[in-house]
Chain A
Amino acid sequence: MTISTISARRRRISGELVAAVVIFVVIYSLLLAVAPFERNLYSFSNFVVLMMPLAVAVIGTSTVLITGGFDLSVAGTLGLSNVLATVLTSAYPDMGVPITIGILGLGLVVGLFNGVLIVLLGLQSIAVTLASYICMTGVALILLPAPGGSVPIEFTSMFKLSVGGFPAALGALIVLCLLWAYLSRTRFGTTLFSIGSDRQAAVISGMLVRATEVGAYAFAGVMYAIAGLFLTAVTASGDPNAGFPFLLTSFAAVALGLVSFRGGKGSAIGAVFGAGSLIALPKLLFGLRIQDFWSGAILGITILLALSLPLLSHVAKRRRRRPAAAAVTDTRSRKDLADVE
C-alpha cells in the first residue's frame, strides 16, 4: 500500500508521454547528426511550421481517442477549413481576422454536430465521423473544384510570424499544449479519462458523461480547423482533398505519441511529439540517402516498435522479478520475499 501511494503521488507525468518525447528526441537528434543543413534556427523554424497542421490536428484526435471514441472527421474539417480560408481570403484579402474566427466557429459547429449525433443518438463514432468527413469533402469540392487559388501573403504571414528567429507558431503550439494540460486537470479532463477507461462506471459515479463526450468532439473540431489554417499558411493555396493524407497520418502520429486507441490513457502532448517524429522521420531518411519509397515501410516499423514499448517494459519488469522467485522454491518463503519487494 505504501509503495503504491508514493508512486501515485509522484505520477504527474505519464510513462507514455516520456516515451513519446524520447522517440522524438532520438529521431530529431539523428536528423541533426546526419544532416548538417538542419542545424540552424531557420531550418528549425521551417520544421515547426511544417509540422503545425499535423501537430494541432492530433491534439483533437487524441482527445477523442481518450474518451474511447474515433474521429475521422479530421480530414474533412481540415480540408474544408483550408478551402474556405483560400476562397474567402482571395475574395476579401483584408478580412483575415474575421475569416479566421469564422473558420474556428465552423470547426466548433462540425464537432458539436458529430458529438450530438454520436452521444445523444447513440450512433457509432467511426460511422458518423466518416460520413461528416465525406460530406465536408463534398462541400469543399463545390467551393473549389480543383486545387489552386492564391492566398494573400498578409494572411499566410499571420501564421508564419517569427520573433527573433523563433517561429511564433511554436509559441502557438506551446499555448495549445498548455491549454490541453490545463483541461486535463479540470473536472472535464478527469471525466474524459474516466469515460475512456470505464464508461459505465463513469455514468454510475454521476459524472457528466454525455456533455463531456460532446465537448471532446467539439474541442477536436476546433483543433482541426486551426490545423487547416496552418496548412493554408504552409501551402498558400487551397485543395479540396488537402485533408485526405491527415486521415492516416493523424492516427499514425497518435500511435507514435503512445496514446491508447482503447481509450482512457495517453496525453495529447505525447501525440504532438508523435507528430514531430512523423515529420522528422522522412527528413532523416533523406539525410541518410535512403530512397523515398522505403519511407513507408520504415515508418510502419517505427510505429510498431513504438506500440510495443509498453510490452517491453512489462517484460523487463517480469525479468527483474523472476530471479528472486526462482531462487527460493518453498512457497511460504517465496511469498514473504514477494512481500518484502
Chain B
Amino acid sequence: MAFVEIQNVSKRFGATRALQRTSLALDRGEIHGLLGENGAGKSTLMKVLSGVITPDEGTVVIDGEMLQHGDPKAAREAGIGIAFQELSSPPNISVAMKLCLRDTPKNVLGMIAQKRLMSHARTVLDEYHAPYIPVDALISEVDLATKQQIEIIAGMRDAKRLLVLDEPTAALPDTAWLFARMRHLAAQGTSIIYISHKLKEIEEICSQGTVIRNGRNVGNFKAGQESEKELVELMIGRSFEHTYPEKRDADVRAVEPIVMVNRLSAGKVEDVSFSIYPGEVLGVAALEGQGQHDLFYALAGITPRTGGQVQITRGSARRDTALVPEERKAEALFLQLSSLFNLTVSTLADLSRAGLVSKKRERALGTARADGVHLPHTMLDKPVSALSGGNQQKVVFGRALSQDPACLILFDPTRGVDVPTKVELYDLIRSYAQSGRAVLMYSTEIPELVGVCDRVLSMHSGQFTGEFTGSLVSETDILRGALNLESMSAQRGTL
C-alpha cells in the first residue's frame, strides 16, 4: 500500500458531481502533479483532504491510518498541510500569528506573548528561507505574492506527512524559492500533491502525475513521457484547436468606439482609460484582487465611481451594459425559482400588459431565450438550483443577452463550467460581438483570454500594465503584465 492512498472519493453538490470515484496514490516523499481545468474537482478534493467537507463515499489512508472525514482538526493531526489558492488567512491578524497558529507563545496569564511570537515567527521564516517577510504586519497589509508565501509556509509547517499546494504560482512569480522548499520537505519524507495547470512547472518539479476531468481520473503520466499537447487534450477532453471560435480579422479601430472610459477611478481602480470598439472582445488579465472586480462592477453601475467618465454609445441596443457576475449563485440567480423565471425576470416589461405578467408570453419568450443559449427545454420548469453549473451559466448568459446591452460585461464567465459548455459560451460571446456590440471579459484563465479575445489589457494594482493585440496576444507576455514583472524585479530584489 502506498504512503498516501486516496480511494474512490465521490462528492455531489446538488446536480453537480464534483468528484466521481477519484483515486490517487503517493509514495513517501513523492511530488505528485494534479492537472485539471477549473471545475474539474481539484479544489473539492483538497477540501476533502483538509476536512472542510465530508465526501459522500471513499477513504483517505495516510501511512496506514484512516483519515476521519469532515474534521479539520483530525486532518491536521494526521499531518496534512494545505496551502489554499483562495487565501485563507483572516485579514486582521498579524503575519506572525498566521504562521504560529498552532504554537502561539503565551505568557503565564495566557496572553499572547507578542515579543516571543515575533521572534518565534522570525525563526520560522529563517528556517523557510524567507527572512524578508515582515512578521508584525497585518495579513491585509502585505502584497499578494507575500500572502501566498505565508500561506505556503503555514501549510508546510502542518505538513508532517502530506502537503497539498493549490496553484501556488498563480500569485507567486518566484518558483525557485517554492521548488527548493518543496524538495527540502519531500526529502524529509513528506509527500506533496502539486495542483497546477502550468505544464512546465509540473514537468520540472513532479515525478509523476494524474489528470482529472469532471471529477474523474482520466489519465496518469510520468514526467517527460507525455507531450504538452497530449496532456492538455486529456485535461480538456478534446482537441485543443477546435476549442475557440475564429477571431475577427478586420482592424476594429477604424470606427467610433462603443465604450469610452476616461480616467476612471472606482474602488481599487485608479485613473484608467480605454475604449471598446464594435465587434470587439476586449479581455482583462489580472491576478486576484488587482482591481478588475471594481473596474467591471463600476462599468455595470454597481461599484460607485470616484472619478472620471464613462461614455457608452448605445446605438440600437436597449441598455448600456449587462453583467454576467463573478458568483452566479450569489449574485445572479434566484436559486429556488425556475429557469424560466430566471431567464425572463430582467425584461418583465416585455411580458406584461397593464402591469400584469402574462404567463403565456413568459413561456414563449423564455423558450426562445433557452434556444438562443442551447438550454434544453426540459430545464425550463426546474428550479435553477437543480441545474448543473454549465446549464446555470447558460441561464445567466441568456438573461444578460436578452437585455440587449451595447456592452456585455463578463466577469470570469466560465468559472466552474464543464468544457463542452465552455465552448458553447465562447461561440455565444463571439457571435454577440459579431452583431456589432462590444464585449468586455475577465478570466482567471489566461489561455482562455488568449483564445477568445481580440485584444487583452493586463492589470496590476488598479492600473493597466500592458496591451496585447492580434498576434501579440500570448500567454507568457500577458502573465508578465499581470504580474507587473518589470517593477516587480526591482521591488523584490531580495528574492
Query: Which residues from chain A sit less than 8 Å from chain B, CB to CB?
Result: 1, 4-5, 8-9, 182, 185-187, 190, 193-195, 197-198, 200-207, 264-265, 318, 331, 334-335
Q: Which 3 residue pairs of A and B lie closest in terms of their CB atoms, listed nearest first? A: A194-B90, A204-B88, A4-B141
On whether the beta carbons of B92 and A206 are closer than 8 Å, the reply is: no
Residue among A187, A193, A334 facing the most chain B CB atoms (10 A cut-off):
A187
Of the A-B pairs whose beta carbons lie under 8 Å apart in the complex, a sample of 21, sorted by A's number, is: A1-B142, A1-B143, A5-B141, A8-B134, A8-B138, A9-B136, A186-B111, A193-B92, A197-B91, A197-B92, A198-B91, A201-B88, A204-B52, A204-B84, A205-B89, A205-B90, A205-B154, A206-B73, A331-B271, A334-B271, A335-B463
Interface residue tally of chain B, by bracket? 35 or more
Residue contact A207 to B136, C-beta cutoff 8 Å: no
User: A122 CB to closest chain B CB, in angstroms?
Assistant: 15
Assuming A185-B112, A186-B111, what are 7 further A-B pairs, CB within 8 angstroms?
A1-B134, A190-B93, A201-B89, A204-B88, A206-B76, A206-B101, A331-B271
A194 adjacent to B138 (CB under 8 Å): no
- B72 in contact with A204 (CB, 8 Å): yes
CB <8 Å contact, B112 and A265: no
* CA–CA, A164 and B104, complex, Å: 43
Q: Taking the complex as formed, is B376 at the interface, i.e. its CB lies under 8 A from any CB of chain A?
A: no
Tell me the dominant secondary structure on chain B's binding face.
loop
B137 CB within 8 Å of chain A = yes
The CA-CA distance from A8 to B96 in the complex, in Å, is: 12
Are the CB atoms of A187 and B136 closer together than 8 Å? no
Indicate if B106 sits at the interface (CB-CB under 8 A): yes
* B97, CB-defined interface residue at 8 Å: yes
Contact A203-B52, Cβ < 8 Å, known A182-B111, A197-B92: yes
> Which parts of B119-143 form the interface with A (CB within 8 Å)?
134, 136-138, 141-143
A206 with B90: CB separation less than 8 A: no
Q: Please state if A207 and B101 are interface contacts (CB–CB under 8 Å).
A: yes
List chain A residues, Cβ under 8 A from B97: 190
Chain A residues positioned under 8 Å from B106 (CB to CB): 186-187
Chain A: which residue is nearest B492 at the CB level?
A: A1
The answer to the question of B50 belonging to the interface, with a C-beta cut-off of 8 Å to chain A, is yes
Taking a contact as CB atoms under 8 Å apart, the answer to whether B93 and A206 are in contact is no
In the assembled complex, the Cα of A56 lies from the Cα of B91 at a distance in Å of 29
Judge if B109 is at the interface, Cβ distance under 8 Å: yes
Contact B98 A205 (CB under 8 A): yes
Instruction: Tell me which residues across on chain B come within 8 A of A197, comparing CB atoms.
Output: 90-92
| Inter-chain contact total with CB atoms closer than 8 Å | 83
- Provided the pairs A182-B111, A186-B111, A205-B98 are in contact, do residues A5 and B84 lie with their beta carbons within 8 angstroms? no
Tell me whether A8 and B111 are in contact (CB under 8 A).
no
B residues in contact with A318, CB < 8 Å: 306
Q: Give A265's nearest chain B residue, CB to CB.
A: B92
B154 nearest CB neighbor, chain A only: A205
Q: Mark B76-92, 1 if CB is under 8 A from A, else 0.
A: 10000010100111111
A335 contacts which chain B residues (CB < 8 A)? Answer: 463
B contacts, CB < 8 Å to A: 50, 52, 72-73, 76, 82, 84, 87-94, 97-98, 101-102, 104, 106, 109-112, 134, 136-138, 141-143, 154, 158, 271, 306, 463
Smallest CB–CB gap between A152 and chain B, Å? Answer: 37
Q: Which residues of A contact B87 (CB under 8 A)?
A: 201
The complex places the Cα of A201 from the Cα of B90 at a distance, in Å, of 5
B158: which A residues are within 8 A, CB to CB? 206
A198 to B136, CA, bound (A): 20
Complex: A202 Cα to B72 Cα, angstroms: 11
Complex-state Cα separation, A331 to B270, whole angstroms: 11
For B307, give the chain A residue with the smallest CB separation.
Answer: A322
Contact across chains for B91 and A185 when beta carbons are under 8 A apart: no
Let me know if B92 and A264 touch, CB within 8 A: yes
**Cα–Cα distance between A161 and B331 once the two chains are bound (Å):** 57
Assess whether B84 is in contact with A186, with CB atoms less than 8 Å apart. Answer: no
Q: Which residues of B contact A206 (CB under 8 A)?
A: 72-73, 76, 101-102, 158
CB-CB under 8 A from A5, the residues of chain B are 134, 136-137, 141
**In the complex, are the beta carbons of B72 and A203 less than 8 A apart?**
yes
Residues of A within 8 Å of B134, CB to CB, are 1, 4-5, 8
A73–B352 Cα gap in the complex (Å)? 47
**Chain B residues near A9 (CB, 8 Å)?**
136
B274 CB to closest chain A CB (Å) equals 13
**Inter-chain contact A4/B92, CB cutoff 8 Å:** no
CA distance A187 to B97 in the complex (A): 9
Chain B's closest residue to A7 (CB) is B141
B111 x A205 contact (CB < 8 A): no
Nearest chain A residue, comparing its CB with the CB of B141: A4
A260 to chain B, nearest CB (A): 11
CA distance A182 to B90 in the complex (A): 21
For the complex, what is the distance from the CA of A331 to the CA of B271, rounded to whole Å?
A: 9
Q: Which residue of B lies closest to A9 (CB)?
A: B136
- Closest Cβ of chain A: how far from B449's Cβ, in Å? 24
Report Cα–Cα, A1/B141, bound state, in Å: 8
User: Which residue of A has the minimal Cβ distance to B91?
Assistant: A197
Assess whether B92 is in contact with A8, with CB atoms less than 8 Å apart.
no
Smallest CB–CB gap between B492 and chain A, Å? Answer: 10
Q: How far is the CB of A198 from chain B (nearest CB, A)?
A: 5
Partner of A204, one of B50, B94, B136, B141: B50
Q: Which of A8, A186, A201, A202 contacts B136 (CB 8 A)?
A: A8
| Complex CA distance for A185 and B115, rounded to whole angstroms | 13
B88 touches A8 (CB 8 A): no
Contacts of B82 in A (CB 8 A): 204
Cβ contact within 8 Å between A205 and B109: no
Q: B104 — nearest CB in chain A belongs to which residue?
A: A187
Q: Shortest CB–CB separation between residue A8 and chain B, in angstroms?
A: 5
| In contact, B92 and A194 (Cβ under 8 angstroms) | yes
**Contact residue among A8, A190, A204 (Cβ-Cβ distance under 8 Å from B112):** A190
Known: A203-B72, A207-B101. A194 touches B137 (CB 8 A): no
